[in-house]
Amino acid sequence: MAKNFSSVTPQSLSGKNTPTTAPTNGKVASEPASTGRGSGRRKQLVYGLGAVILVALVVLMVGLLTRGGDDEQGGTPQAPHGPSQIVDGVPSGYTRDKGGAATAAVNFLQADDKAMAGQLDIANVEKALVAENPSPKLVSILDSARDRQVTGDTFTTLPATVTVRSLSADAADVSVWALGSGSLNSNAAGDKASVATWGTADLHLVWADRDWKVQDYAFRVGPQPGQETTSASDSSQVESGYYSFFVN
């Protein structure tokens, strides 16, 4: 129901004993206009508080996003272990630690794949990734990739697990269990056949010329997925990371 406020006086609205001017012509005298100082201050306080809250929310969101990546790595920011450069399609420049040795081993296998397909000069691979005194087994592998012509075949090593069996300041033993997959010419007509094989490469690396270099290399087929091969005496931990490079 509507209420009649015609008899309400200004002092009853404000609750203050503010004197009013009696009507002289049947009309209520108007009150002095408000200066607006109180409302202006309230607006400034409201706007200021809003700005503070907005800045705090932005800082909080940035902090959460930044800290989120660190928390997944145990609170420690992770940095790449290499390569730091790629010259003539061959990667090099690795950190002197487990991650650097692991990455160098995988990148050597992938560079050798490209050399076998005639897509890289094996001499450049030797210069960047092979030690000065390679083992006879490694020499044989390198020689098989020498003077290769481009045939259109593709083959690459896709690491499933990379394990650093031993590590010192000057040497590392790395085992790479990987899927070797590719596409090869199956006949003179140029028909392609897909190939895939599981195998393990064992590499011995040395630290020379401020980088990891492969000194020895051995390969064996398997194990196949699903085979249990871990023994109780093997305490080596599989490395976790990305081990690949892409160069056309």
Q: State residue 187's pLDDT score.
A: 81
Helices (H), strands (E): how many in the chain? 5, 7
Q: State residue 19's pLDDT score.
A: 45
- Whether residue 102 contacts residue 240, with contact meaning beta carbons closer than 8 Å, is answered with no
DSSP E strands in the chain: the ranges are 85-87, 90-92, 154-167, 171-185, 192-208, 211-221, 238-239
- Whether residue 183 contacts residue 195, with contact meaning beta carbons closer than 8 Å, is answered with yes
Q: State residue 188's pLDDT score.
A: 78
pLDDT along the chain (248 residues), means of 10: 46 45 46 52 57 54 46 56 94 96 96 93 97 97 93 88 96 96 81 90 98 97 83 69 76
Q: What Cα–Cα distance (Å) separates residue 160 from each residue in 178, 186, 234?
A: 5, 27, 18
Task: Give the pair of three-digit tokens for residue 50.
Answer: 């809003």
Burial of 204 (0-12, 13-18, 19+ CB in 10 A): buried
Q: State residue 247's pLDDT score.
A: 74
The CB-based long-range contact list for 51-57 (8 Å cut-off, 24+ gap) reads: none
Query: Which residue do the tokens 């490079």 mark?
Result: 245
d(CA 146, CA 125): 11
Burial of 181 (0-12, 13-18, 19+ CB in 10 A): middle
Q: State residue 228's pLDDT score.
A: 72
d(CA 226, CA 222): 11
